[in-house]
Amino acid sequence: MKNERIILFSLIFCFTAIIGIGGVLSSDTVQAAESTVSMNVIVSGTGGDVTNNPYIKNNIPSSDLANQVVEMAKNGTPMVVFGDGSGPKTMIIAGVHGNELSAQIAAMKMIDYLNGKQIKGTVYIVPFVAPSITAQNERNWNGQNLNSVANVAGTPTNQIVNKAKELKIVVLGDFHSTQPGGDPGKYSALCSKAPTYESYNIANYVSKQTGCKLIIYPKAGKKYPGAVEDISNLAGIPAVTCEVVSPHGTVATGSVDNSFNQMIALLKYKGVI
């Protein structure tokens, strides 16, 4: 009996020790992964509390990292970076239109998804281009459609495209939602073949991976002058616009998942994940 008790206590002691060591190891592992995450404000004058928008508040993850992004967004446009700056460098943008909520929520889910994940390359995520309009559930910033002024010096979208140039981004995705019956009104990936043909390759890949419609324009800057996608392609940064269907100012069922899947496809294009 006594021996059995000793054995039992020994077993409990061993298990506790193993769990203890395991706990230390796993917390080290988490720390190592977290060290590859950083964030900063890349545009000032755009800040706001995005949780004032109930759709954002109720649908974004509640992790520490997500909370840090929300806090930073009060000071301007936040950009979260995963990786050490090695290539390929991919940029995900959401919230060019503040009331297109699905992509902004999907971008926050992507931030959570990539946290601690092994990736090949560096991923830059701008989940809220102008947090102040996201907070107010409004489309425009200071009366401007930010997807028509990326070619106007100093606008938030112009500053973001310049940042993409400076960082030497090789794949850029700008994520939106479109109203049913709107323009383009379809779950889709938009691209152009000139001057940056790779825009088409990326959109074609995203379309094949997700089943969304492929919409091709011959030349960037014609149908949507001043759009983030177009101005990026004109600058030699291969870019696409991805749309999911959801009425503006709200979140249609399945639209966040659709947007997230487009983002996953964008990251798979160069084998980042």
State in angstroms the smallest separation of the CB of 157 from Zn ion: 11
- As a whole number of angstroms, the distance between CA 80 and CA 172 comes to 15
Q: How many residues does the chain have?
A: 273
Q: What angle do CA 101, 212, 114 make, to 5 degrees?
A: 55
Q: Which is nearer to Zn ion, 129 or 235 (CB)?
A: 129
List, edge to edge, every strand of the sheet that includes 89-94. Answer: 37-43, 77-82, 122-126, 89-94, 171-178, 239-245, 188-194, 213-219
State in angstroms the smallest separation of the CB of 26 from Zn ion: 41
Antiparallel, parallel or unpaired: β 89-94 and 77-82: unpaired
- As a whole number of angstroms, the distance between CA 206 and CA 221 comes to 21
Residue type present at position 95: G
State in angstroms the smallest separation of the CB of 97 from Zn ion: 4
Q: Which is nearer to Zn ion, 82 or 224 (CB)?
A: 224
Residues that bind Zn ion (CB under 5 A): 97, 100, 176
Q: Which of 173, 216, 165 is CA-nearest to residue 192?
A: 216
State in angstroms the smallest separation of the CB of 127 from Zn ion: 15
Q: Which is nearer to Zn ion, 122 or 188 (CB)?
A: 188
Q: Which is nearer to Zn ion, 79 or 190 (CB)?
A: 190
State in angstroms the smallest separation of the CB of 100 from Zn ion: 5
The residues that bridge with 126 in the sheet, in sequence order, are: 93
By Cβ distance, which residue is nearest to Zn ion? 176
Q: Which is nearer to Zn ion, 89 or 176 (CB)?
A: 176
Residue 269 neighbours by CB under 8 Å, 6+ apart: 90, 171, 201, 202, 205, 206
Q: Which is nearer to Zn ion, 174 or 270 (CB)?
A: 174
State in angstroms the smallest separation of the CB of 176 from Zn ion: 3
- Residue 217 is classified by DSSP as E
